[in-house]
Amino acid sequence: MKYLIVGLGNIGPEYELTRHNIGFLTLDRLAEKTGADWKSDRLAFKTEIKHKGRTLHLIKPTTYMNLSGKAVNYWMKDLNIQKENLLVLVDDVAIPFGKLRMRAKGSSAGHNGLKNIESLCGGQDYPRLRMGIGDDFPKGRQVDYVLGRFTQNEFDELPIVMDKAIEMIFGFCTIGISQTMTQFND
């Protein structure tokens, strides 16, 4: 069984430790824990890991967040991966920091990366892991907040959150999305 696990984020040092890059950061942690090395490939940084007889292709699109669908579409076709074996890790301001919610499908909720994936990959019916970053920003300042760096308290908690997300990724690939949602969703 093959899976495509996509961490959303933006490339470049100015975005490295921002809330918007929690998908990138989580896949970096997963790669580090499994000894996988990233390579620059078509439209993404890519690596692959094995877990319980499954192959997980990890990508971090290099297209910038708003064009993430370009990389997702390319790699789904190139690797011949069905939508039910795609999992997108995405930041979500509607969920408190540290909370994680896996969904089999859903709307973009205004997230430009998800909008682009929907547009280029044929709709909203693909699994995603929504990673809460909270909404502690004044009206009209969402962009600054999302593209801002984590607070020290958030940064201290981040490894715990990312490790739970990694457990959820493994669950998605082994016990399936329904059981993973039941077991892990906050």
Q: Summarize the annotated binding site for tRNA as residue ranges.
A: 15, 64, 66, 112
Token reading at 75: 């790699």
| Alpha helices in 88-151, H assignment, sequence order | 112-121, 142-146
51 is a catalytic site residue: no
> Which residue's structure tokens are 């896949």?
27
CA distances in angstroms from 54 to 51, 163, 174, listed in the order given: 5, 19, 8
- Strands 44-51 and 39-41, bridge-based pairing: antiparallel
Q: Which of 20, 51, 57, 111 is catalytic?
A: 20
Q: Among 129, 136, 120, 125, which residue's Cα sits nearest to residue 164?
A: 129
Give the residue numbers annotated as catalytic, written as ranges: 20
